[in-house]
Amino acid sequence: MSHYCELLARKAGLSPDRCDLIRTASPMHDIGKIGTPDHVLLKPGKFTQEEFGVIAQHAEIGYRILSGSDAELLKVAAVIAYTHHERFDGTGYPRGLQGDTIPIEGRIAAIADAFDALTTRRVYKPAFDLSHAIELMLKHRNEHFDPELLDVFVASSDELARIHKQYADPVNPNPISAL
């Protein structure tokens, strides 16, 4: 996810130092999940409304963990943790921010996190191929994501494929052999 963030930040014209800072800070985006019970976090199916409320707290928990430091890295990480689930149309959480009121770091992380989640195998779903993930994200272009940033991201498909290939989790067809 961090390399997707760095790529998008660079393609969006942010300074090299800011791109590096976003790459370094973005892996902390879900640190607040440390406060989420495993029975919710690892649930293989759809969340109930109550469970969604529990999981949604991770953005604020992450912000509280990371904020308060004078270190620029932790300041950026706190912003990303707090805003990566905000949606461009204002329907996200935790604050329902809309459009450009969402810091660019959060808008970048939202795109990178969604792409990474779609293209990575999870306990509740298989990995989608890159083109299918992009297709799904484009369906929510003006709702979930900053449309201009998403267009920049999609236009970088060759680089996305390179990053995905380089950092994808290996799939072991026989998990018993790993023991």
Identity of residue 91: T
Residue 43 appears among annotated catalytic residues: no
Q: Which long-range contacts (CB under 8 A, 24 or more apart) does 172-177 make?
A: none
**C-alpha 147: how far from its chain's center?**
16
**Closest to 84 measured CA to CA, from 158, 10, 146, 152:** 146
Catalytic-role residue among 33, 43, 139, 165: 33
> How many angstroms separate the CA atoms of 23 and 9, rounded?
9
Active-site residue set: 33
